[in-house]
């Protein structure tokens, strides 16, 4: 095992998971690829990949990075993408790294990575913790000036949202801002996602509210609960009842007949 | 309408086409400096990622002409569980479109950085011959406007004249050109047996201006349709996609007025409508390319049973009901079907499946072609 002398930290992409203390700093042709936090200590043990052929050939830079960091999130990948661009090894390494990571090396993905690492650090930590994918944060490519959306990026980690809630909130809030809504309109203290959906889908919300109110006024039998429910593009009446006797069953059917007559006279579904 | 082919900044042609009539035509149509007799080195489809907004826009200005090694003939994507299918077949003679509609479904899967035009029309016609020989009694409707506009690039390829020859000899089969252009002049004098349908996607001029970039105006489309009808060609209209916007009723009413004052019901072999729907994944590219000012990106689209995003079913019903009643109010002879709609939507709007509606039955009754 060699001792570290002059290794380059150009590729320090600040991995989230610390490199185990029991392992040496790993370099590839003088570039540190793992153990960045200890690379400044001259006495740190060093493992130089290119001088230690594992198989018939030495590992490439991309392979070395992949071996040392098999499970990178998009934020780490974004930082690594920028670091690699500072070297003259980008062209040969990036595509290979993408292939090893089983991600597509497209212009669109590159742009998402560049933009993700420009977001506030708290958002980056959230994205990393939730293991977001490219599709989850595609909205970033639609934002003309990323810094103007900072309040949204700061709000999401603050609210302890799940991954799907956070992704949904991010897209809705950014779209609303793009549509000209102010942050004052976009933010609210409680039930943020419902609030965003109401703003983003005002006609559907209004229709659902009208239908819910109409449905509530119908003469439903007492042993039955009903509500207006939305399932994607369909709004429906959901009815639930429990029957404990034949008599109760017939009573319920009789009650439903009254509802049916009311609906026939004044259908809420007519245009 | 703008000259679409003049928008190509680069034309790459397969070297084997040099000296052929198509190759010569390319040389005649395009300045020498934009033509390259070399094909681009494209990644395999497994390596290709989705195109970025810039790459997608650029693909509309880069033309690639080459032979297609696969099958041209396919069943329409409307043949899917959950949708009412009108037995339509497609012949794909290229991929991508030089026009730029904000809602175009090609944005959901086109991942080639060029507009592609297939050169080997003979192979496509051979396929048609084989299909016909396998099913000589079948009555098929075949359209060429699924993955490209049927007429937008025909001034380069002249494929449609060749197709019309085949359909002249096979009068039981119908060929449909679907377009948003007014490029019909070169086909008007060709012989036909009333089995070549010229069809237009129609929208109010307000929607065309806002969402259907580089396409022919409504008036240009209707004028072209009139020319075709006057030459005895059947014409068809698709009010598809119907797009909700402020004053939509006024705009669609004006459109219907224009259609019904220009055509009699018997002149229009098919009139169909379909409300806006998109694949969920295409919303990102649409938003990047057209912003949120578009009537489409800013609309309220919700997931439906088939996985697409659509308007709320109640709003769709309102759109369909309005269009249907406006046509019927002008003349009861107008018959309108739904395009790419769910079984539920048919039942909501027509209270029946299309195969049970006498005037729509011819389009929706099952045909018996060989399945490929």
Query: Average pLDDT of A36-60?
Result: 78
How many folded domains does chain B comprise? 1
Surface of A (83-122) touching B: CB under 8 A? 104-109, 111
pLDDT at B68 over 90: yes
Domain boundaries, chain A: 1-105, 126-200, 203-265
Across all residues in chain B, what is the average pLDDT?
90
Residue of chain A with shortest Cα separation from B345: A234
pLDDT at B87: 67
Q: A with B: how many residue pairs have Cβ under 8 Å apart? A: 83
Give the integer Cα–Cα distance in Å for B124 and B118: 10
B20 falls within a domain: yes
Residue B136 confidence class, pLDDT cut points 50, 70, 90: confident
CA distance A233 to chain B (A): 4
pLDDT digits (tens, 9 = 90+) for A250-268: 999 999 999 999 999 888 8
* B41 SS3 class: coil
Residue B55, chain A, CB below 8 Å: the answer is: yes
Residue B304, chain A, CB below 8 Å: the answer is: yes
Alpha helices in A145-245 (DSSP H): 150-158, 163-178, 183-186, 192-200, 202-217
- Given an 8 Å threshold on Cβ–Cβ distance, is B305 in contact with A232? yes
- Among B146, B98, B99, B144, smallest CA distance to B121 is for B144
| Percent above pLDDT 70 for chain B | 86
**Which residues in chain B are closer than 8 Å to A203, comparing Cβ atoms?**
300, 312, 315
Query: Average pLDDT of B33-58?
Result: 83
Q: State the DSSP H helix or E strand holding residue B177, giving kind and residue range, or none if neither.
A: strand B174-179
pLDDT at B44: 56
Residue reference for tokens 């609906």:
A263
pLDDT at B253 over 90: yes
Residue A179, chain B, CB below 8 Å: the answer is: yes
B372 falls within a domain: no
Give the integer Cα–Cα distance in Å for A52 and B20: 58
Query: Average pLDDT of B204-222?
Result: 98
Residue reference for tokens 């203390």:
A21
pLDDT at A222: 87
Report yes or no for ipTM above 0.85.
yes
* A117 SS3 class: coil
Residue of chain A with shortest Cα separation from B55: A107
What CATH number has the domain bearing residue B321? 3.80.30.30
pLDDT at A40: 74
**Which residues in chain A are closer than 8 Å to B287, comparing Cβ atoms?**
139, 142, 175, 178
User: Which residue range(s) make up the domain with B112?
Assistant: 4-364
Rounded to 10°, the helix A192-200/A202-217 angle is: 110
Alpha helices in chain B (DSSP H): 21-29, 53-59, 121-134, 154-157, 159-169, 205-211, 218-230, 248-262, 282-290, 313-330, 343-350, 361-364
Instruction: Return the structure tokens found at A191.
Output: 């039930």
pLDDT digits (tens, 9 = 90+) for A120-158: 999 999 999 999 999 999 999 999 999 999 999 999 999
Contacts of B324 by beta carbon, 8 Å cutoff, 6+ apart: B273, B336, B349
B160 falls within a domain: yes
pLDDT at A113 over 60: yes
pLDDT at B369: 40
pLDDT at B43: 64
In a mutagenesis test of the A interface, which of B302, B308, B311 is the best target, namely the one with the most A β-carbons within 10 Å? B302
């Amino acid at each position: 095992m060699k001792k570290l002398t002059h290794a380059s930290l150009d590729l320090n992409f600040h991995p989230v998971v610390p490199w185990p203390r029991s392992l040496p700093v790993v370099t590839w042709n003088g570039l540190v690829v793992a153990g960045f936090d200890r690379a400044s200590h001259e006495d740190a043990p060093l493992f130089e990949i290119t001088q230690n052929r594992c198989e018939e050939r030495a590992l490439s830079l991309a392979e070395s990075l992949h071996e040392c960091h098999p499970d990178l999130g998009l934020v780490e990948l974004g930082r690594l993408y920028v670091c690699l661009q500072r070297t003259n090894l980008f062209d040969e390494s990036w595509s290979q790294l993408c292939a090893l990571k089983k991600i597509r090396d497209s212009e669109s993905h590159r742009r998402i990575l560049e933009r993700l690492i420009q977001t506030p650090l708290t958002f980056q930590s959230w994205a990393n913790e939730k293991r977001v994918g490219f599709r989850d944060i595609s909205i970033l490519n639609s934002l003309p000036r990323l810094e103007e959306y900072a309040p949204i990026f700061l709000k999401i980690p603050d609210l302890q949202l799940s991954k799907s809630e956070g992704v949904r909130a991010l897209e809705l809030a950014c779209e609303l801002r793009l549509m000209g809504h102010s942050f004052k309109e976009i933010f609210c203290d409680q039930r943020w996602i419902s609030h965003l959906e109401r703003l983003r889908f005002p006609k559907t919300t209004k229709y659902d509210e009208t239908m819910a109110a109409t449905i509530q006024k119908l003469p439903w039998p007492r042993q039955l609960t009903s509500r207006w429910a939305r399932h994607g593009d369909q709004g429906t009446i959901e009815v639930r009842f429990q029957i404990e006797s034949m008599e109760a069953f017939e009573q319920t059917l009789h009650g439903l007949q009254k509802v049916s007559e009311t609906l026939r006279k004044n259908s809420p579904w007519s245009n | 309408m703008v000259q679409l082919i003049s928008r190509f900044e680069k034309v790459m042609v397969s070297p084997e086409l040099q000296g052929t009539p198509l190759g010569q035509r390319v040389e005649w149509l395009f300045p020498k400096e934009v033509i390259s007799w070399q094909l681009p080195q494209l990644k395999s489809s497994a390596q290709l990622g989705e195109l970025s907004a810039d790459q997608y826009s650029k693909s509309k200005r880069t033309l690639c002409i080459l032979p297609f090694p696969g099958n041209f003939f396919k069943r329409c994507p409307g043949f899917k569980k959950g949708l009412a299918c009108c037995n339509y077949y497609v012949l794909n003679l290229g991929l991508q479109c030089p026009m730029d509609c904000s809602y175009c479904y090609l944005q959901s899967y086109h991942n080639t950085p060029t507009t592609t035009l297939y050169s080997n029309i003979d192979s496509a016609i051979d396929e048609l011959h084989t299909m016909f020989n396998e099913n000589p009694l079948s009555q098929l409707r075949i359209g060429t406007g699924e993955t490209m506009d049927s007429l937008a690039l025909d001034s380069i390829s002249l494929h449609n004249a060749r197709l019309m020859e085949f359909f002249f000899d096979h009068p039981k089969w119908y060929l449909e050109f679907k377009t948003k252009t007014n490029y019909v002049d070169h086909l008007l004098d060709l012989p036909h047996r009333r089995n070549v349908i010229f069809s237009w996607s129609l929208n109010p001029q307000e929607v065309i201006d806002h969402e259907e970039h580089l396409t022919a105006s409504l008036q240009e489309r209707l004028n072209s349709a009139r020319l075709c009808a006057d030459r005895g060609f059947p014409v068809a209209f698709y009010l598809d996609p119907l797009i909700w916007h402020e004053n939509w009723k006024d705009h669609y009413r004006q459109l219907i007025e224009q259609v019904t004052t220009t055509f009699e019901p018997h002149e229009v072999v098919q009139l169909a409508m379909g409300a806006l729907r998109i694949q969920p994944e295409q919303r990102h590219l649409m938003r990047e390319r057209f912003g949120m000012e578009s009537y489409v990106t800013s609309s309220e689209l919700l997931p439906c049973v088939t996985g697409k995003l659509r308007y709320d079913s109640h709003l769709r019903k309102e759109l369909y009901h309005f269009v249907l009643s406006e046509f019927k109010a002008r003349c009861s002879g107008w018959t309108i079907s739904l395009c790419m709609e769910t079984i539920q939507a048919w039942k909501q709007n027509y209270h029946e499946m299309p195969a049970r509606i006498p005037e729509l039955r011819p389009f929706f009754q099952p045909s018996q072609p060989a399945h490929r």
